[in-house]
Structure 1
Amino acid sequence: MASDTWKILLLRLRHHLPKMLGVAVLSTAVAAGCWLAGGLGLPVLERALYDRALTTFTRSKGQSADIVVVAIDQSSLDGVRDNPAYARDFGPYPWNRGLWTRVVEELANQGAKAVLFDGVMMDEPSTDESTDAGFAQVLKDTGLPVYLGVATHPRAAPLPKVEPVHPPPAPDFGEGADVMMAMARVLAFPVKTDGRALPVLESELLPGARQPNHLVPPIAPLLAEADGFGLVETEPDPDGVLRRTRFAYTDGANAYVTLPVAAAADFFGAGELVFSGRTLRLGSRELKVNPDGSAELDFGGPLHERFPIVPVVALLDAWSLRQEGKPPTGGLGIEPDLFRGRLVVIGPTALGLGETRVTPFGSSAPGLSKQLAALENLLSGRFITEAPFWVSLLFALGLAVLSAVLLMTVRSPALELAWLLLLVVPLSFGVMGASLALGRVHVLAALPAAAGLLACLGAMASNHLFANREAAFIRQAFSRYMEPRLIEQMIEENQLPKLDGEERELTAFFSDIRGFSSFSESFQHNPRELVRVLNQYLTRVSSALLNEGGCLDKYIGDAVVCLFGAPINHTDHAVRACRGALAAQAEVAKLRAEFRAKGMPDVYTRIGLNSARLFVGNFGSEQLFDYTAMGDGMNLASRLEGANKSYGSLIMIGPRTYELARDHIEVRELDRVRVAGKAEAVTVYELLALKGALPAQKRWTVQRYHEALALYREQRFAEAAGVLKAQLSEDPEDGPTAVLLARCQKYQEHPPAHFDGVVSLEK
């Protein structure tokens, strides 16, 4: 049964594969068109799936070993305000640069590798210019590399075009110097774009109205002493979520890099930023990027999970303790050597400072989360990049093909619903998650999900609106005659019955109950019980035949007519018919035991099998037809069933059946017979068992019978009778031995006038 099921599935796949592929290709093409046009909400779905995959599959364990965050958090705001000395020296937030002087000095003393200021703009002079000078002096004296974030604004003065070099020459802000030119040389960065256009610095004041932005340079003392400057653009996606970064921008005149790139350029010894294809090169570092020069950020988790965080006020306290000659880390929550050899990023985390942003890991993340992720990705040498579109398209096609093939092959309503609702999107999501986790590659999920869903709908439409119409007719017509799995096989092989019929070789099965008239007489006072018993008999015999692929032709009272090899063209129809006949006899043997236990009369079933070319089809009208076969072969099968009575056998098969199934069955050659109306004699056989299943005693009986049959055909009747008589004493229940013995004894007493060894079967 399992093999038949697989055969049906393979047949469906073979016959409908072009249609399945057509559905898949069309679905993929529609989904790709919608993706490119931004239809069906696919970009929104993609962003949602990407965020969930990022948070599910890429969350890192442990904190960064390279970066420490110095946070302008609420505890620092409160600590500076509540400390009279700090409040006097630094004022309210934003604090004067005297505070940052102490912070940088303390970080230098604790061995920090470099400092990046994000969200702390240094573009306006302090009211006390001495604090600006003091901050610039500490940058010079400590030698600690410091990188400042640079903001942009539409009303800022544009900088002139320059030929940038890195590191830039010391700026000249003396009397008569071109200050704007000096600023441009410091802030611009050499970028080679390989022909691609850099994104333009601009802002959207009103919906649809954009205008260029220009850099707001830091104050002159810091331009001269800081080691680098970088943009701190927000770079949100259309839905406002921070997911990606660009490494360089232009204001139409010069190129400017982002703050993480400005710092990383010095770490990697870079004199320029170079884009080439999908590669970004920064000194010794080479990274994969998207075709437009962007890259998606691998956040690794929320800021508080990824980085050690120290409040600014803790560093102020550490500086104060150091001035007093006390250990600068005791009781401040600063672990020994926390800053040694690490990059320090300073930025606001307090909610009231207006730097809250949305990331895949949270709806209220500090703005510096983006710069931290970009810096860490630069240091690790790996961002998340989009897979080439053809990869996602191929994945979409593969999922569409899988959906169409699966649903159009299995054709299960339950599977259709499960695959449609539960598996397509999770499968796309799982592949996206695996690509992010294993390769930090963003394979699209919304496009494949849409292609898969459209393919599901196309497959379901094909199943229910087209393929099932003709199949439903066949199922209804043959449901009472054949096993459902064989009907499905017939449909998939496109072997649909025709009213005008066809000629093919098949094996006909006839069976009848011996002594049914006597059997039925015992129920003359209870005819309902007779009907129940007969139905039980027919059901069990029919089931045995259907399990072997037979097609029930008709019931004639207690007789069963069945066809093997039609309407399904089984090439092993003779073997199937033999197996079915033996299985039917086994079911009858069980019924006999049940009847005996109930005190009911004993019954036997006689069976005739014959293989021949017959005319088979639906004989009848458009309104009512009967699938049957016609021809001499059918008549011979019927005659063989009746001839069992004359030979004392149970299953008699014709010569063609024996020829086709001889390698699979055990038989006894019974005789050569001549059918009424036919001059040609045929050899008939008794089917005894499947190959290798005949008991040794019965095998010996058959062997002795064949010896006697050979003597009989030589008209040595006395010798044949001697062999048969001796064997009958050992196997007294063997009917064919008793029948041939009686015939030999008859001919021994009354020799025939004309003997040819052939017996004529009566009508």
Structure 2
Amino acid sequence: MNQRKIRILFGLVVTLLVLIPVLTGNRPLLLERFELDLYDLRLQQTLVNEPDPRIVIVDVDEKTMVHEGRWPWSRDKVGALVDQLFDQYGVAIVGFDVVFSEPDTQLSQYTLQQISEGKADLSLKELLNLSTYLYPDQRFASAIDARPVVLGFPFDHGTLVKTNTKQVGAVAAPVTPAIEQMQDLPIPTAQGMIGNLPLLQARTLWSGFFDNPSVDTDGVYRRVPLLQRYQDQYYPSLSLAMMMALFGETEVTPVLEADASGELFAITAVDVAGIPIPVDERSNVLVPYRGEQGSFPYVSATDVLRGTADPATLDGAIVLVGTTAAGLFDLRVTPMSNRYPGVEVHANILSGMLDERIRHQPDYTVAVELVQLLISGLLMSLLIPRLSVTRGAILTTIWVSMLVVFNFYAWTELMWVIPLGYTLALVVLLFIFQQTTGYFFETRNRMQLANVFGQYIPPEIVDELNTEGAEAQLQGESRDMTVFFSDIRGFTGLSESLTPQQLTRMINVYLTPMTQVIHGHRGTVDKYIGDAIMAFWGAPLTNPEHPRHALDAAMQMQAEIRNVNNLLRSEGLPEIEVGMGLNTGEMNVGNMGSSFRMAYTVMGDAVNLASRLESLTKFFGVPVLVSGELAERIPEYRFMELDRARVKGRAEPVVLYQPLGVAAELDAAVLAQADQFEVMLADYRAQRWEEALAVLDTLDAEVISGVLIELYRDRIEQQMCAPSEEWDGVHNHDSK
């Protein structure tokens, strides 16, 4: 199979195999990690990096624990914190990123101390009920009563079952009725819950879970579900519950979409007070991180309790009470940091919901990814095998850049999260495969080309061939070319007078410079036939100037023969004369032969004519003979027409020319002699015998071949003595 077809077929097969995991949703873990890393990179490069003053985190930090004691505190102190936030600082809502699941049964030491120091401002009613008010849980319950306070709680996903317990504390109110279409959706389903004390839960309208069952496989907080299912009811996350409290809503509306058949539903958003919050099929929202830790104002809880916090920071703020102290274990691994406060994760989600700045991954992004993969696979499979390494690398770089730019546009402008890692992996895989196999095929081609052409054509042409491929060059084809034959005159007699060593030396002295000249003019040596040389131009590389290159080579070889004869003479070897014939035309070229031996050669009638022309050089007494087809292709040369002849194998006459050289470089005397000879030839064909003989007498045998002059003299005299009625001025050559 053709190497290119192999590379294309493999690329298409790999592309199809890559599409399967995308369609089934079962992607390799390594590529999933790569996709997550790319998500983090995009997120980190597009952070807002501006604090959001609307949301303030009241922090149980190291400073607070030094002044107020270690967490958890007595509930009366937590109640006092709530009173301070609403009464002194005028916050909008308060959310707790903690759960109050166990009763606090001790007397309120904090309240007693406040009363004794005169710091507690109790109403008459509260004084009358002081015994009840001194219980911490009751104190906290009174603080949150009728206020927009959101309590937090965690769902359980298997821990409580081991203790034969499913629920601790009170169940919060669900935020959406049971909807039949939602029962089969892959929304996280809890097996149990750890709720707040019934006394506390009864005093608030809003509660939200702060656990995250949707942590990614690498343990990083990138997505958090807005809803979880428990006992066929749906409950909100802490950030969603705070959003509801902010707008005074007690319910949310899941946005469901059906497929074309109207049977399969998927949740696409959660609507709060007319604000749709996009989610995935598991109700997960991608956390819209604003920046590194500290993207929200932090106020130490002890400063709130002592009344020393900045009122401008807290006035009208949305407050989240949480912990950042290292020993309280509320630090998470996020794309921002390996130690990121969990409370700030909720703050980021709430900020994103308020700004409607939630990126999402609609179900149709799968179709977008499939199109990316398909185009990438076709591009890398069909085009790269046809290009050089450099052009292939440039095309791949351009395509990857287009993918990245489109992905970045979708990320920043459309708020779409389109998977990119799988597509990049496919592009890199196919690029490496195509370039690697291309390298091995190219190495094989070089070896093959070197074996076939290395002895016959110059190395630089072999290098050029490597860019086109050996298989295409070796296949037989019909092509316009120029073919060349040369032969040493009288070689048989010369060989009989020489020893084998002398003969070998003479052939080497002759063939070496002749081959160098052929190579120097981009010719291909077909074969050596004893002392004869067969060469051609126009293959294996296409060469529009092949007639000119071939004739230039022949003329240079005739000049080089003088140097060859000087060397032969200096070594006591006989000098040589060489006849050369050239023809241009259509001929078949390719790797021809048998299953035992192959050769890259040319065949056809045009080749046979060149061989006939070479044999006729001796008949006309000229060193080089060319056909009219070749002479027409090189107008800058001066050719002298010698004859019209019928050669063996051709019924139609062939016009024979002797090349004299580049017209602009010839002596005037030579040009004048050539003009005179052609005048004689015109008289000869018009049967003006006397005029033709008169012109022959003026020709210089040093310029015009003496053999040629005598040939025409004999022909004219023969016609004058014995005219032939069939004479048409065309000579028949029946021998080779």
Partner of 2:193: 214
Match of 1:366 among 338, 341, 347: 341
What is the CA distance between 1:280 and its match in structure 2? Answer: 1.1
1:683 is the counterpart of 2:655: yes
1:308 is the counterpart of 2:296: yes
Taking structure 2 as the reference length, what is the TM-score of the superposition?
Answer: 0.69
CA gap of 1:69–1:739, structure 2 versus 1, over 3 A, is farther
Shifted more, 262-271 versus 456-465: the winner is: 456-465
CA gap of 1:596–1:360, structure 2 versus 1, over 3 A, is farther
Secondary structure class of the residue paired with 1:362? coil
Partner of 2:361: 385
Can you list the C-alpha shifts for 1:654-687, whole angstroms capped at 9, x where unaligned? 345568x589998665531233686653113456
1:41-440 paired onto structure 2 within 5 Å: 42-59=27-44, 60-65=47-52, 68-70=55-57, 72=59, 76-77=61-62, 79-83=63-67, 86-87=68-69, 92-94=71-73, 96-99=75-78, 101-102=80-81, 105-106=84-85, 113-118=92-97, 120-126=98-104, 127=106, 128=108, 130=134, 145-153=148-156, 154=160, 155=165, 157=167, 184-185=172-173, 187-189=174-176, 195=182, 197-198=184-185, 212-214=191-193, 216-217=195-196, 220-221=199-200, 223-225=202-204, 228-235=206-213, 236-265=215-244, 272-277=252-257, 279-282=268-271, 283-299=273-289, 301-304=291-294, 307-313=295-301, 315-316=303-304, 320-321=307-308, 328-329=309-310, 337-339=312-314, 343-378=318-353, 379-385=355-361, 388-405=365-382, 408-409=385-386, 434=408, 437-438=411-412, 440=415
What is the CA distance between 1:259 and its match in structure 2? Answer: 1.7
1:23 is the counterpart of 2:7: no
d(CA) in 2 for partners of 1:138, 1:216: 19
Match of 1:609 among 578, 582, 589: 582
d(CA) in 2 for partners of 1:733, 1:97: 131
Can you list the C-alpha shifts for 1:318-342, whole angstroms capped at 9, x where unaligned? x534xxxxxx54xxxxxx9445665
Conserved in 1, the CA contact under 8 Å of 2:486 and 2:579?
yes
Secondary structure class of the residue paired with 1:634? helix
What is the CA distance between 1:581 and its match in structure 2? Answer: 0.3
d(CA) in 2 for partners of 1:269, 1:586: 102
What is the CA distance between 1:746 and its match in structure 2? Answer: 8.2
Can you list the C-alpha shifts for 1:83-125, whole angstroms capped at 9, x where unaligned? 3xx45xxx6544645356446735776675544332x224444
What is the CA distance between 1:631 and its match in structure 2? Answer: 6.2
Shifted more, 661-670 versus 630-639: the winner is: 661-670
What is the CA distance between 1:360 and its match in structure 2? Answer: 3.2
What is the CA distance between 1:258 and its match in structure 2? Answer: 1.2
Can you list the C-alpha shifts for 1:619-661, whole angstroms capped at 9, x where unaligned? 76544444445666434212323545677877643345568x5
Secondary structure class of the residue paired with 1:683? strand
What is the CA distance between 1:249 and its match in structure 2? Answer: 1.5
CA gap of 1:53–1:456, structure 2 versus 1, over 3 A, is closer
Can you list the C-alpha shifts for 1:124-145, whole angstroms capped at 9, x where unaligned? 444435555665666579x7x4
Secondary structure class of the residue paired with 1:224? coil
Secondary structure class of the residue paired with 1:58? helix
Secondary structure class of the residue paired with 1:55? helix
d(CA) in 1 for partners of 2:562, 2:299: 93
d(CA) in 2 for partners of 1:705, 1:97: 131
Secondary structure class of the residue paired with 1:233? coil
Conserved in 2, the CA contact under 8 Å of 1:653 and 1:684?
yes
Partner of 1:541: 517
What is the CA distance between 1:64 and its match in structure 2? Answer: 3.5
Secondary structure class of the residue paired with 2:155? strand
CA gap of 1:488–1:134, structure 2 versus 1, over 3 A, is same
Structure 2 unaligned spans of 5+? 109-132, 258-266
Conserved in 2, the CA contact under 8 Å of 1:49 and 1:429?
no
Secondary structure class of the residue paired with 2:219? coil
d(CA) in 2 for partners of 1:642, 1:390: 73
d(CA) in 1 for partners of 2:563, 2:325: 88
CA gap of 1:291–1:576, structure 2 versus 1, over 3 A, is farther
CA gap of 1:47–1:636, structure 2 versus 1, over 3 A, is closer
What is the CA distance between 1:265 and its match in structure 2? Answer: 3.8
d(CA) in 1 for partners of 2:433, 2:663: 55
What is the CA distance between 1:410 and its match in structure 2? Answer: 6.1
Query: Which letter maps to 2:526?
Result: D
Secondary structure class of the residue paired with 1:188? coil
1:450-529 paired onto structure 2 within 5 Å: 476-481=451-456, 483-484=461-462, 486=465, 491-493=470-472, 496=475, 507-511=482-486
What is the CA distance between 1:279 and its match in structure 2? Answer: 3.2
Can you list the C-alpha shifts for 1:529-557, whole angstroms capped at 9, x where unaligned? 97876565244334346x46x5x320246
CA gap of 1:527–1:44, structure 2 versus 1, over 3 A, is same
Secondary structure class of the residue paired with 2:208? strand
Structure 1 unaligned spans of 5+? 1-10, 160-179, 204-211, 322-327, 330-335
d(CA) in 1 for partners of 2:79, 2:682: 121
CA gap of 1:487–1:137, structure 2 versus 1, over 3 A, is closer
Quote the sequence identity (%): 23
d(CA) in 1 for partners of 2:11, 2:630: 47
Secondary structure class of the residue paired with 2:654? strand
CA gap of 1:316–1:33, structure 2 versus 1, over 3 A, is same
What is the CA distance between 1:255 and its match in structure 2? Answer: 1.3
CA gap of 1:356–1:632, structure 2 versus 1, over 3 A, is closer
Conserved in 2, the CA contact under 8 Å of 1:199 and 1:248?
no
Aligned length: 666
What is the CA distance between 1:582 and its match in structure 2? Answer: 4.1
Conserved in 1, the CA contact under 8 Å of 2:212 and 2:225?
no
What is the CA distance between 1:237 and its match in structure 2? Answer: 2.7
Query: Which letter maps to 2:254?
Result: V
d(CA) in 2 for partners of 1:342, 1:606: 106
Conserved in 2, the CA contact under 8 Å of 1:348 and 1:368?
yes
Taking structure 1 as the reference length, what is the TM-score of the superposition?
Answer: 0.67
Conserved in 2, the CA contact under 8 Å of 1:581 and 1:651?
no
Match of 1:674 among 615, 624, 646: 646
What is the CA distance between 1:196 and its match in structure 2? Answer: 6.0
Partner of 1:209: none
d(CA) in 2 for partners of 1:516, 1:339: 113
Conserved in 1, the CA contact under 8 Å of 2:99 and 2:195?
no
Can you list the C-alpha shifts for 1:726-757, whole angstroms capped at 9, x where unaligned? 9x99xx99768x99888778888997555643
> Does 1 or 2 have the higher relative contact order (CA < 8 Å, sep 6+)?
1
Partner of 1:325: none
Conserved in 1, the CA contact under 8 Å of 2:22 and 2:370?
no
Secondary structure class of the residue paired with 1:263? helix
CA gap of 1:254–1:364, structure 2 versus 1, over 3 A, is same
Secondary structure class of the residue paired with 2:339? strand
What is the CA distance between 1:213 and its match in structure 2? Answer: 1.3
What is the CA distance between 1:496 and its match in structure 2? Answer: 4.0
- When Rg is computed on C-alpha atoms for both structures, the one with the higher figure is 2
d(CA) in 2 for partners of 1:432, 1:274: 30
What is the CA distance between 1:23 and its match in structure 2? Answer: 2.7
CA gap of 1:583–1:368, structure 2 versus 1, over 3 A, is farther
Can you list the C-alpha shifts for 1:291-328, whole angstroms capped at 9, x where unaligned? 44334334354334xx03424247437x534xxxxxx5
Query: Which letter maps to 2:175?
Result: A
